[in-house]
Amino acid sequence: MKKGLMSLALLLLPLFAQADLLLVTSAQSPVTELTREQAQQLFLGRGLSREGVTLMAVDLPSGDAARDAFYQKLTGRNAQQMNAYWARMIFTGRGNPPAEAGSTQELQRRLRNQPDLVGYMRADQAPAGLRVLLTLY
Amino acid sequence: MIIKHYALAAALCVSGGYAWGQQSVSDNGDDQLAQLEQRISGLESRLQQDRLGWLDNVNLNGFMTYGVIRHNVHQDLNNGDPVTYRNRTTDEISHQELSQVGLQLDATLNDRSRMVVQMLARGRDNYDLQAQWAYIDYQLTPTVQVRGGRLRLPFFMHSQYSNVGYTYHWVSLPGEAYDVVPFDTMDGADISWNVNTGPVSHRLNVYAASMDVLSLALPVPVVYEVRDMYGINLQSTWRDWSTWASYTNPKVTLDLTPVGAPQLSLDESRAYVSSVGFQYDDGRLMVMGERSQLGINGWFPTKWGGYLSTGYRFGAWMPHLTWAAANAKGLRDAAEDGPMGQAFFNGNAVRQKSWTLGMRYDPLPNIAFKGEVKYLYNFSNDDAPNSNGLFDPQQAVDGGRINRSDPMVFSLAVDVAF
């Protein structure tokens, strides 16, 4: 029975894996992993330094399905709620939202070239040469 | 959210004009002309890049509220004026009271410095512009930020963005807690320290400032001169929870000669403003609460206000319910200053409780529609015998009461932000 369940899970894994989101950085980065709380600190503009590096978050363009899914999984907030959150930060001078990459391809290129950047993408879009810091299921 | 402004046309015009000037020397043959054209196009693209680079460091953000509000107390004051709620709202629909528009320019000057200006135009001020934020920001270290100029008061949990309706679920913040100090801005400097202790993020803020607060609570408008104001506040966030605590310690001077009571003037009286609060928001369920307090030595009442609020998101819809209360203490102390002291106490004492039922609807990004009904009750007790709550403190001075047993305030608003 257990074996049967396991093989079913293995069969279904690729389907679920598509919905997984990866937090990724350059393979040259000294940072090897982040916790969920650290990822929240970084992507909600509260600042995060690891291994002597001040990390910088990069977003996918607004409206991108992976972006909405990322914030939903990481913070429980949808796009509108994230807008309200950033309005509080911006209009009190406490920070601006992460810079936006134009596309997943541009994000991949920027991550490879700048080791202090951290971005996110769908698991099936993460190319070799990037390091996975956290998987959001 | 952020709109970067590329004044491409302007850059082209300027670089084009510059190029045209250079071209006047180029009448000595085709080769020279070609060389010059090449140089011009090089200069043009450099100029464009410079300009784009400069503008790339400027963010423009904005927000706006259009709202309507009225109450149901159809009664006049002793002098014939209508009864007002929070000094302005009457029983006639007002399109001005809630409406306002703000624009914020945020220019990054270099790796460490920014200049931020936020101008606000309120409907109730005939859309006259006022600077809400105007400061230079210097990043001392990656975690320490120093700002100087005009800053919004950090007295209460939502104070610094109270003018941006899009950021909260109510049409307007609970007056019980936020009218304890009916003022928005200060002139001074602050230092903020962002630090993470494990999974908990903190922002500690310390400031020194001064301000002049106009008060309409007495028969004649008076100005509280607030000086030597030092304050501290701490906001801590862990997952879906955040807490807030603040304490401020100013000196207050108030000349009451124009009111005919110079003996009650405040001369650098010690005062304090404090607030504690919490918020929980997991994306669906929202719960928050706060308690604020103001005390000034002398006849001035010790005022406190607070609220508990909860809401639940059903997709784009969020119904919410808030209970709020405001109270004042210190009548006996004020009575030592005679009938005048007692009258001034009453003019500033606010006691009321309220229930607010509201709905926020977010059909699309960056726009929210809101509606609210607020029912107010429980206005007076031994300490604040003539209080009408946030309905006309002046009338309390006159000894009058509103005659309605179910006073309510109705409001509708649409909020946008970009």
B118 contact residues in A (CB cutoff 8 A): 91
Q: In chain A, which residue's Cα lies nearest the Cα of B191?
A: A94
DSSP A22: E
The yes-or-no verdict on residue A89 having pLDDT over 80 is yes
Mean pLDDT across B16-32: 48
Residue B184 has pLDDT above 80, yes or no: yes
- Of B102, B147, B240, Cβ closest to residue A93: B147
Statement: the pTM of the whole predicted model exceeds 0.95: no
Q: For residue A3, what pLDDT is reported? A: 55
| Cα B339 from Cα A99, distance rounded (Å) | 62
Answer whether residue B174 shows pLDDT above 70: yes
B184: helix, strand or coil? coil
Contacts of B133 in chain A (CB under 8 A): 93
**Is the pLDDT reported for residue A61 higher than 90?**
yes
Residue A15 predicted with pLDDT over 60: no
pLDDT tens digits, B279-323: 999 999 999 999 999 999 988 899 999 999 999 999 999 999 999
Rounded CA separation B159/B183 (Å): 10
Task: Check pLDDT > 50 for residue B351.
Answer: yes
State residue A114's pLDDT score.
94
- pLDDT higher at B114 or B57: B114
Q: What percent of chain B shows pLDDT beyond 90?
A: 62
> A106: closest CA among A121, A96, A95?
A121
Token readout for B366 is 């960056």
Per the DSSP assignment, residues forming a β-bridge with B139 are B145
Residue of B nearest to A41 (CA): B201
Q: What is the mean pLDDT of residues A85-107?
A: 94
Provide the pLDDT for residue B397. Answer: 47
User: Crossing angle, helix B8-23 and helix B30-55, to 10 degrees?
Assistant: 150
- What is the structure's pLDDT at B347? 77
**pLDDT tens sequence across B245-290:** 999 999 999 999 988 889 889 999 999 999 999 999 999 999 999 9
Answer yes or no: is pLDDT of A17 > 70: no
CA atoms within 13 A on the CB side of B80: 0
Could A91 and B365 be called an inter-chain contact, meaning their C-beta atoms sit closer than 8 Å? no
Whether residue B14 has pLDDT greater than 60? no
The answer to whether the CB of A83 falls within 8 A of the CB of A66 is: no
List CB contacts of A40: < 8 A, sequence separation 6 or more: A46, A74, A75, B239
| Candidates A90, A94, A96, A100, partner chain B, best to mutate (most B CBs within 10 A) | A90
Find, in chain B, the residue whose alpha carbon is nearest to that of A91: B161
| pLDDT above 80 (res B399) | no
pLDDT at B230 over 80: yes
Q: Quick check: B231 pLDDT over 90?
A: yes
Fill in the amino acid letter for B404: R
Residue A31 has pLDDT above 80, yes or no: yes
The DSSP bridge partners found for residue B129 are: B121
Among chain A residues, CA nearest to B160: A92
B386 pLDDT exceeds 70? Answer: no
Decide if pLDDT at B70 tops 90.
Answer: yes
Neighbours of B9 (CB within 10 A): 8
Interface test with B, best of A91, A96, A134 (most B CBs within 10 A): A91
Distance from the B161 Cα atom to the nearest Cα atom in chain A, whole angstroms: 6
| Per-residue pLDDT band at B7 (split at 50, 70, 90) | very low
Lowest mean pLDDT among A35-39, A82-86, B15-19, B191-195: B15-19
pLDDT at A8 over 70: no
Q: Which chain A residues touch B316 with a CB distance below 8 Å? A: 80
Nearest to B160 among A81, A92, A97 (CB): A92
Q: Which of B118, B196, B362 is closest, CB to CB, to A91?
A: B118
What DSSP assignment string belongs to B96-159? SSS-EEEEEEEEE-SSSEEEEEEEEEEGGGTT-EEEEEEEEEEEEETTEEEEEEEEE--SSTTG
Residue B206's DSSP bridge partners are B191, B232
**Yes or no, beta carbons of A91 and B142 under 8 Å apart:** no
Measured between CA atoms, how close is A42 to chain B, in angstroms?
Answer: 10
The yes-or-no verdict on residue A58 having pLDDT over 50 is: yes
Residue B173 binned pLDDT confidence (cut-offs 50, 70, 90): very high
Give the separation between CA B390 and CA B375, rounded to whole angstroms: 12
The pLDDT score that the predictor gives to residue B23 is 39
* pLDDT for res B384: 65
Q: Once rounded to an integer, what is the mean pLDDT over residues B131-145?
A: 95
Mean pLDDT of B371-380: 92
The answer to whether residue B183 scores a pLDDT higher than 80 is yes
What's the order of all strands across the beta sheet hosting A130-136? A99-100, A56-59, A117-122, A21-26, A130-136
B147 Cβ neighbours under 8 A, 6+ residues apart: A93, B135, B136, B137, B138, B189, B190, B191, B192
Nearest to A96 among B2, B164, B166 (CB): B2
| Residue among A41, A62, A77 minimizing CB distance to B283 | A77
Question: Which candidate in B167, B202, B282 is best for mutational testing of the A interface (most A CBs within 10 A)?
Answer: B167
More confident residue, B215 or B382: B215
pLDDT bucket at A2, cuts 50 / 70 / 90: low
Distance from the Cα of B234 to chain A's closest Cα (Å) equals: 14
Q: Can you list the alpha helix ranges (DSSP code H) found in B164-319?
A: 175-178
Q: What is the per-residue pLDDT for B350? A: 85
- From the candidates B115, B161, B369, which should be mutated to test the interface with A, based on the most A CB atoms within 10 A? B161
The pLDDT value recorded for residue B336 is 84
Range with the poorest average pLDDT among B66-70, B176-180, B344-348: B344-348
Q: How far does A38 lie from chain B, in Å, by closest CA?
A: 7
